[in-house]
Amino acid sequence: MLVIISYDVADDKRRAKIANLLENYGTRVQYSVFECLIEKEQLEEIKQLADEIISHSEDSLRYYIICEDCRKKINIMGTGEITSDPDFYIV
C-alpha cells in the first residue's frame, strides 16, 4: 500500500532520527514528506518506532493511506514522480 508520511518535529536530533527511520521505508519527496510502499506490518513497525522518538507535546506525524483508486488520481506539477514498485528486485 502507498502511505504518505509527513512530520513536523521541533528538535533537530529527533527530526534527524525520524528522517533516518523513514528513509529505511520510503522515498523522500519533500523535506518532511515520504512516500512509502509498505505492508501493514511495516506501517505498524514505523508507528511503534516513531512513537519512541517523538515528543507527543511538541511533534506531529501524519500517516495518509492512499487507496489504489486514489493513487491513480495523484497529480504532480513540476518535478518528481509518484513512488512505484520497481519492475524487478535484486536479491
The band of 91, judged by pLDDT with boundaries at 50, 70 and 90, is: low
79 in a structural domain: no
Where residue 85 falls among pLDDT bands split at 50, 70, 90? low
In three-state secondary structure terms, 73 is coil
Q: How far apart are CA 1 and CA 8, in angstroms?
A: 23
Q: Which residue would you say has higher pLDDT here, 1 or 81?
A: 1
> What CATH number is given to the structural domain containing 41?
3.30.70.240
In this structure, of 12-21, 23-32, 50-59, 64-73, the range with the lowest mean pLDDT score is 64-73
Whether residue 40 lies inside any domain: the answer is: yes
> What residue numbers bound the domain in which 66 lies?
2-71
Q: Is residue 64 part of a domain?
A: yes
Residue 57 has pLDDT above 60, yes or no: yes
DSSP code of residue 25: T
Which H helix or E strand runs over 45?
helix 40-53
CA distance linking residue 7 with residue 21, whole number of Å = 12
Percent of the chain residues past pLDDT 90, beyond the cut:
73
Length of the chain in terms of residues written:
91
